[in-house]
Amino acid sequence: MKHNRVIVWFRNDLRISDNETLTRAIQSGIEIIPVYCFDPRMWAKTELGIAKTGAFRTQFLIESVDDLRKSIRNLGGDLIILQGKPEDKVVELAEKIQAKAIFFSQEVTSEEKDVDKSLESAAFAKGITTESFWQSTLYHIEDLPFPVSQTPEVFTHFRKAVEKMAKVRPSWKTPKTINYPSDLDFSLLGNLPSLLTYGLEKPDRDAKSWMEVEGGEQSGFGRLRSYFWEKDLLKVYKETRNGLIGMDYSSKFSPWLALGCISPRSIVEEITSYEKERKKNESTYWLIFELIWRDYFRFIAKKHGDKIFNIQGIKNQEDSWSRDKSQFEAWAEGMTGVPFVDANMRELNATGFMSNRGRQIVASFLVNDLGIDWTWGASYFESQLIDYDVCSNWGNWMYVGGVGNDPRENRYFNILRQAKNYDRNGEYVRIMIPELQAIKGFDIHQPWELSTSQLRSLKIQFGHTYPQPLRKIPTLEKAY
Ligand code: FAD
């Protein structure tokens, strides 16, 4: 044992299962002091004038930290909650309680890495050691069959290489106890902030919300048990994953994965058990396939650094984007006059979640139909999404914006074709856009095709009850 007192600084690894940082600290230190620090910079305003972290994710984060505290208490320890810049607060605490080391998990993007660097130098100046560990991906960075700097640009190449040449490491066992110092001043523990601390209001759970998710490792594993074992849905995941309505068409693991309440390795271990006990088929593999996408965007972010946030992207494309604020706001509010786009944006605003299909459609509309700066879209998602993950979000947006690493030249989504394939009878739009509810069948996707007398009898008035479309979108026939 190298250290006599170690701080474990939790970040996006809010769990006690499969947590290398925590386990290594337990192995190396006599006494463990778990800490979480709410960093006010997470609620700073973006260029768009909105908070980086909106109410849904803030609520989920607070619940996750609360759950972590309970889990650690069950192990005989406690979680100290700090508020402020971690490079100041965590180091001050370490000095105060005479911790000899701070352990934490590595991040890949610049804002987070800048915090690491500042914390490391502040700690070094006080004679405190730091150790950081790679977590969060399915494949460990050291097991990649190429240096990160040579991560293949094309997803399929990446996937085939890791599937062939790398192995997923077994998960770390959940610790049974934590040796928490008995003499720590109780007043150090700190309280959880509330939404009000960040000037946010508790989001209303309205009729549109089937996203019944609660932050924390316990509920993350609860969702996993329910989706795999109780509802037995894993075996049909590939067929249902492009759905739009309800909690069960896809796993909905993303909010827990984003904050590290559950690790991708734990999910894959559970998939393997399911395959042994119930069924192994394309669907069970497909969930692993999607988790490899998540890894891919993380390694691409590590490879390209800040380029993933730049308007030119990693392709160095010329900046010829529009920055029409009023059109952007119409998109963000779900008021473009294109029902399928508006329905998805309204779901995002009302629940903090949107299906993968929806995300691709609204992103394509913003960048391809409106020609608006893709980074604005990415920033808006960053603020609203309950499952915001810096690498997955900016990586996917680059992809749709055509400045990422997609080998396909054209990522245009024909909205009506998408509607025909995924919301044929307009059921989804009918839930999200009550003012169009009276329109029957597929017509709800193209209200502009209705005659004046039909519109009158349905009490729909463009520009009054529902907006005129911002853009004339291609007809179904123009779809490919
Ligand atoms: P499932 O279909 O059940 O997939 C299981 C898991 O695989 C997901 O939880 C996620 O971790 C991973 N995954 C699936 N698809 C992708 C993908 N395309 N890229 C990376 N990982 C994937 N996902 C986020 O987690 N956070 C984001 O901020 C985010 N922003 C996005 C922005 C855009 C423009 C687009 C097109 C996609 C974005 N995604 C993001 C990816 C994807 O839409 C979500 O992961 C998925 O909808 C979450 O629902 P689920 O957990 O039910 O997914």
Can you give the CATH number for the domain in which 388 is found? 1.10.579.10
> Does residue 189 fall inside a structural domain?
no
pLDDT for position 301: 97
What Rg, from alpha-carbon coordinates, does the chain have? 24
Phi, psi of 76 (to 5 degrees): 95, 10
Q: In what order do the strands lie in the sheet with 129-133?
A: 80-83, 29-38, 3-10, 101-105, 129-133
Q: Domains in the chain: how many in total?
A: 3
Q: What is the CATH number of the domain that holds 142?
A: 1.25.40.80
Ligand 1 atom nearest to CA at 251? 3
**Ligand 1 in reach of 301 Cβ (< 6 A):** no
Q: According to the model, what pLDDT value does residue 340 have?
A: 98
Q: Is 464 part of a structural domain of the chain? A: no
Q: Are residues 266 and 338 in the same domain?
A: no
| Per-residue confidence (pLDDT) for residue 215, from 0 to 100 | 98
Tokens of 418: 């998408």
How far is it, in rounded angstroms, from Cα 177 to Cα 184? 17
Walk along the chain (480 residues) in steps of 10 and give the mean pLDDT of each run.
84 98 90 97 93 96 98 97 98 97 97 97 97 97 98 96 98 96 93 96 74 94 98 98 97 98 98 98 98 98 96 90 97 98 97 97 97 97 98 96 78 92 98 96 97 96 96 74
Q: Is 290 in the pocket of ligand 1 (CB under 6 A)?
A: yes
pLDDT for the residue 480: 43
Q: Output the pLDDT for position 24.
A: 95
Q: Are 267 and 287 in contact (CB under 8 A)?
A: yes
| Structure confidence at residue 28 (pLDDT) | 80
Whether residues 255 and 395 share a domain: the answer is no
Q: What is the pLDDT of residue 477?
A: 72
In a domain, 472, yes or no: no
So what's the pLDDT on residue 141? Answer: 98
Residues 86 and 126 in one domain: yes
- Residue 13 and residue 162 in one domain: no
Specify if 177 maps to a domain.
no
Residue 179 in domain: no
Q: Distance between CA 354 and CA 12 in Å, rounded?
A: 21
Q: Minimal CA–CA distance to 168: which of 196, 142, 130, 204?
A: 142
Quick one: three-class SS letters along 377-397?
HHHHHHHHCCCCCHHHHHHHH
Round to whole Å and give the CA distance between 20 and 173: 9
What distance in Å separates the CA atoms of residue 19 and residue 421, rounded to the nearest whole number?
Answer: 41
Residue 474 within any structural domain of the chain: no
State the number of CA atoms in the 13 A half-sphere of 204 facing the CB: 6
Please give the pLDDT value at position 3.
Answer: 63
Instruction: Point out the domain boundary residue: 283, 304, 325.
Output: 304
Q: How far apart are the first and last CA of the chain?
A: 63
Sign of the four-CA dihedral 247, 251, 256, 261: positive
Nearest CA owner, ligand 1 atom 22: 294
Residues 114-124 have pLDDT tens digits of 999 999 999 99
What's residue 27's pLDDT? 86
Pocket test for ligand 1, best of 136, 244, 367, 387 (most atoms within 8 A of CB): 387
How far apart CA 167 and CA 144 sit, in angstroms, is 9
Domain span at 337: 315-457
What backbone phi and psi angles, to 5 degrees, belong to 3?
-115, 155
Q: Tell me how far apart the alpha carbons of residues 453 and 459 are, in angstroms, rounded to a whole number.
A: 10
The verdict on 75 and 163 lying in the same domain is: no
